[in-house]
Structure 1
Amino acid sequence: MKILTLNTHSWLELHQLHKIRVLADFILAEDIDVIALQEVNQLIKAPFVETDHLYSPLTERPITFDNFALLLSQFLQEDGRTYYWSWAESHEGWGIYDEGVALLSKHPFIELHTIHMSDPQYDYKNVYRRCALTARIHVKNQDLWVSSAHMNWWERDGQQLFQHDFSSLNHQLHIFAQNTPIILAGDFNNDANVQAEGYAQILQAGWHDTYSQAAHVDGKYTVHKNIAGWENSTEAKRIDFILTKGLNAPVLRHRVVFADNTPEAISDHSGVLVEIAL
């Protein structure tokens, strides 16, 4: 089984349609099972569109014609491949976008949920309002849960954010999953090299990092420059993870793709592609 995570930085990239096409071609070439995306944007004022049977709605906000995940799904369908997908909005982005997270899967969604993890004081216009999208699928004779999350920073503007949100996410995932294995992928906005903050909390909660588990590792860092939320940080960081819990299967390979400091970049984050022996 292959799973890809990518913060798409959608519609904030030059040549956006071309980059969606590049991503679609990569998914097809690698035959990826599950794609977890973050910063999946659509213009708030764009025209609404009708969606097809591959889309599972979880939101009252209509899908607009420029939704990044919709366009990716359409490119994949043009090549004759079926990927089921869903999208959940987190907050208003840059004053003009519905910003959210998405999942695409070769395997039908058996069950699907939006997990709201942030303090209720943060309304839709607040960037600190965060959610995750989680789905139960069936792969190789077993059920598992897959989730796409875009987490808050450890601390911002004097506010403690990650600790609350991850505790909430972890708790809710376990309610849904019970004893079923979970794969949690996304942009965690916490540097794995920083001690005693978000990454430590993740490990203390019993999650396993595929970067540490993989038999073969190609690449490490997923951000190499200053980006939104990390304006004063220019050193390389590993903040995009694919995590597992309860998954008794070897991790064969952990690979950084579309490296953000190379000509192959399609976002301000690199992607992470993991292959698991399922």
Structure 2
Amino acid sequence: MYLKNVYIVMRCMEINTMKLLTGLFFMLLLISCVVQTDKVDDIVNDPVPSLPPVLSVFDTIETDGFLLKWTAVPKVTEYTIYESAVDSDADYTVLDTTGDTLYKKTGLSPNTGKYYKIECVVDGKLLTSKSVRAETAGVLTSTGDITDLTTDAKGILTTFDSTKNKKSPEELIVLTLNLHTYQETAQDEKFDIIVKAIAEYDVDLIAFQECAQKKDSPFIDGSTTIRNDNMAYIITKRLKQYYNLDYDFKWDWAHYGWSVYEEGVAVVSKHPITASQSTWISTSASTSSIISRKAVYSSVTHPDFGRINLFSAHLHWRTTINNDQTIQIQNLQKFVNDNTGDSVATFVCGDFNMQPTEYAPWDEGYNAMTDSGEFIDTFYVYNPAANDMPEQSKYDTVKGDTPGRIDYIFMNKLAQFTVISSQIIFTPAILGTVTDHYGVLTRLEYSGIID
């Protein structure tokens, strides 16, 4: 009996010890969780460290200066610009302060180089950019440099030299380019490449397709349609900022791209736009359908040539023999005919998603534009082998799984212009690619009388 009582007492002590240890374990676990939670709270509440501005240089046509540009730093309202003849901290002096992220330096002599850096303060912390050397006379030594453009004996654009590429007063230059709706990497740098080519090649008229803006981005001041990330708006804004060039544009959208972007087409002009209109060319007018398509038109007044009509369109690709693309091309033609009027030229540009090197009915859209004799394919005029079969890849304006020549600049046959040259640009060899399409650039000469 005694031994039994001793066993019971020992068993009770063992159970109580286990309970005590278990309680201590959970208490320590709870304390650990609280400590870890505090650490997590500290991490979550710690502000994300601000990064210094990234400075680059965008050269301009002038030989007495250049444009400094840098990335914005959150919460910063003032940047200090430093300048030095040598890249030594002791020699930098304050050039200016600004609340902008652009600064145009002028007053220098040709072939003059200096060093620059940007400073700003965030929450009491000084942030300094890496130094960048910039030189006048068109020399660009910062990141994002692109090859200067020049032309060969036939006027083909190869590299750029602004002193050799000045067009004559009788010339008109037209560009069409599909912008790929913000699907590019390094989009900001590619905007700059496009801007540089437009400005330095002195392009008069431009047609953009897949020209988009985010559906929830803020509208620019005074507009209920154009948002602050509209691709045509950004390009024309930079033309003004970088080169002090005034380009105007008209834009409209037809459907959502990737459910995020308002995707459409635009016309851009160096000369005054006096009238503009857009219309549905597809049977569908649903912004949720990728088949939905619009065309945009502007009447442009050239100071020497007179009225020029410019159209930009992006047709849906053909998926069956009987397809909406046929209706779209017919509606586009009607839209063009209704707005041609008394003019010296009409240009119908864009991504037509069709090519002449396909068999019927896949070539129907191209033939509809050219067989009537009302319009000519300006690229084909200068490159008569472009429509030969089998298709030659050097004439492709889009690569990938379904390559082909699908981007065009059509001009009415009665236009008072003759084609000087027409070529594909923004390729790996010429300027570098900026979208999944290549651009088409046509140079024309006015055959009328300039007052």
1:158-173 → structure 2 map (5 Å cutoff): 160-173=323-336
Partner of 2:265: 101
Partner of 1:29: 200
Tell me which structure has the larger Cα radius of gyration.
Answer: 2
CA displacement at 1:10 relative to structure 2: 2.9
TM-score normalized by the length of structure 2: 0.55
Partner of 1:267: 435
- 8 Å Cα contact 1:255/1:273 also seen in 2: yes
CA distance in 1, matches of 2:238, 2:431: 22
Partner of 1:12: 183
Higher relative contact order, structure no. (Cα contacts within 8 Å, ≥ 6 residues apart): 1
Aligned pair 1:188/2:352, yes or no? Answer: yes
CA displacement at 1:263 relative to structure 2: 7.8
Match of 1:243 among 410, 427, 438: 410
CA distance in 1, matches of 2:259, 2:428: 25
Partner of 1:200: 367
CA distance in 2, matches of 1:105, 1:200: 28
Partner of 2:15: none
CA displacement at 1:161 relative to structure 2: 1.4
- 8 Å Cα contact 2:250/2:267 also seen in 1: yes
Aligned pair 1:130/2:130, yes or no? Answer: no
CA distance in 1, matches of 2:249, 2:331: 24
CA distance in 2, matches of 1:211, 1:24: 22
CA displacement at 1:141 relative to structure 2: 2.9
CA distance in 1, matches of 2:384, 2:235: 29
- 8 Å Cα contact 1:254/1:275 also seen in 2: yes
- SS of the equivalent of 1:155 reads coil
* Percent of matched pairs sharing the same residue: 26
CA distance in 2, matches of 1:253, 1:159: 36
CA distance in 1, matches of 2:181, 2:382: 29
- SS of the equivalent of 2:253 reads strand
Partner of 1:229: none
CA distance in 1, matches of 2:313, 2:274: 19
RMSD: 2.2
CA distance in 2, matches of 1:86, 1:188: 19
CA displacement at 1:216 relative to structure 2: 9.5
Gap change, CA 1:199 and 1:105, over 3 Å in 2: same
- SS of the equivalent of 2:333 reads helix
- 8 Å Cα contact 1:216/1:254 also seen in 2: no
CA displacement at 1:179 relative to structure 2: 4.7
Aligned-partner residue type, residue 219 of structure 2: F
5+ residue gaps in structure 1? 52-56, 227-232
TM-score normalized by the length of structure 1: 0.87
Runs of 4 or more, structure 1, over 4 Å off, are 215-219, 260-263
CA displacement at 1:178 relative to structure 2: 3.2
- 8 Å Cα contact 2:254/2:285 also seen in 1: no
CA distance in 1, matches of 2:436, 2:340: 32
Match of 1:48 among 198, 209, 219: 219
Partner of 2:400: 225
- 8 Å Cα contact 2:204/2:269 also seen in 1: yes
CA deviation profile, 1:119-172 (whole Å, cap 9, x unmatched): 1x441111111111111112233212011111111335x761111011111012
- 8 Å Cα contact 2:181/2:263 also seen in 1: no
Partner of 1:141: 305
Aligned pair 1:252/2:430, yes or no? Answer: no
Gap change, CA 1:275 and 1:152, over 3 Å in 2: same
5+ residue gaps in structure 2? 1-171, 387-393, 447-451
Aligned-partner residue type, residue 92 of structure 1: Y
Gap change, CA 1:215 and 1:267, over 3 Å in 2: closer
CA distance in 2, matches of 1:203, 1:13: 33
CA distance in 2, matches of 1:276, 1:75: 26
Gap change, CA 1:260 and 1:36, over 3 Å in 2: farther
Gap change, CA 1:217 and 1:74, over 3 Å in 2: farther
